[in-house]
Amino acid sequence: MLQAYKGMLRACKEILRATPGTRNPLTRGATAAGRAQKDRAGYAARVPPVAVLTPFGFPSVRGNAITAERVVAGLRERGLRVSAWDLSATAEADVAAAVEASRPVLVHAFHAYRSGPLALRLARRLEVPLVVTLTGTDANHELLDPEHAPVVRRVLEGAAAVTAFDASIGEHVAAVLPDLRARLVTVPQAVHFAAAEAFDLEAKPPRARRSRGRSGAGPGRGTSVRSRMARYPRSSSAPTSC
């Protein structure tokens, strides 16, 4: 997605190649499951950490929480060691202390106004890149608000990269801050399909069952909502996993 993340992924692959396998004398005599667990633990200990700051985190159902949880899960699936911090549940001083102790190689903030200022301070203190993901109100409201705009501008100008979920958001921000255009990246929203869950995009929906209503006045009056929805074909252009 971003050069910083790509660099970490390459480092992860090199670590994985160098991770001792079943011939490691330290694991001789252990079960296959035990060796695999030790290898995974050793690999995880070598993966450079990433710190993610979000205004709200799981189990909150707010948009920022759901978005951050989805992105963090995707990064972890790709081998990154990610620590996510919910600023609504933990004091800033505690978050700052924990992030500094973890020595991340990158700080990622969701929402330029709510998470950005702390993330920027930490990134500068640790001398690591800052990635900011625009989540909506930071670009559409705070960036244009006379009171909040200076804070948002300072955060975006200090970021190594700024991501948006739609190109229109990036264009809006670039119109306000033209020097930021080269660091704007569009990362569209996507849908994640479980590996074990089959989903046939070409399958035809089942035929709706027609039933008589309670009054018996005609067919279809008693049809359930599910059977009515089954009359409409599914789209075959569902997005892929991110």
DSSP 3-state of 57 = coil
Please name the helix (run of DSSP H) or strand (run of DSSP E) that holds residue 83, with its range, or none: strand 81-86
Work out the percent of the chain whose per-residue pLDDT is above 70: 60
Predicted pLDDT at 139: 92
For residues 73 and 106, which has the higher predicted lDDT (pLDDT)? 106
Q: What is the mean pLDDT of the chain?
A: 75
Predicted pLDDT at 64: 72
Strand partners, 84: 52
What mean pLDDT do residues 98-103 have? 94
Two tokens at 103?
């020595």
CA-CA-CA-CA torsion sign (30, 36, 39, 44):
negative
189-236 pLDDT, tens digit per residue, is 777 666 666 667 777 777 766 655 555 444 444 445 455 555 545 444
- Specify the amino acid at residue 18: A
Predicted pLDDT at 242: 37
Q: How far are the Cα atoms of 20, 27, 34, 105 from residue 17, in angstroms, in the given order?
A: 8, 17, 19, 21
Helices and strands of the chain, counted as H and E runs: 9, 6
Predicted pLDDT at 24: 39
What's the half-sphere exposure (Cβ side, CA atoms, 13 Å) at 136? 5
Q: Are 128 and 93 in contact (CB under 8 A)?
A: no
What mean pLDDT do residues 88-101 have? 94
For residues 192 and 106, which has the higher predicted lDDT (pLDDT)? 106
**Tokens 């300072």 appear where?**
154
Q: Return phi, psi of residue 227, to 5°.
A: -70, -30
Predicted pLDDT at 67: 82
Predicted pLDDT at 224: 53
Which CATH homologous superfamily contains domain 48-186? Glycogen Phosphorylase B; (3.40.50.2000)
The rounded distance, in Å, linking the Cα atoms of 170 and 175 is 9
Residue 118: is it exposed, middle or buried by C-beta count within 10 angstroms (0-12/13-18/19+)?
buried
125-183 pLDDT, tens digit per residue, is 999 999 999 998 999 999 999 999 999 999 999 999 999 999 999 999 999 999 999 99
- Domain locations in the chain? 48-186, 197-242
* Dihedral angle computed from the Cα positions of residues 65, 70, 75 and 78, in that order, rounded to the nearest 10 degrees: 160
CA–centroid distance for 53 within its chain? 11
Which range is least confidently modeled, 19-28, 78-87, 90-99? 19-28
Maximum C-alpha span of the chain: 80
Question: Measuring CA to CA, which residue among 98, 99, 101, 52 is closest to residue 76?
Answer: 52
- Specify the amino acid at residue 37: Q
The rounded distance, in Å, linking the Cα atoms of 12 and 36 is 17
Predicted pLDDT at 138: 93
Which residues make Cβ contacts (< 8 Å) with residue 197, sequence separation at least 6?
Answer: none
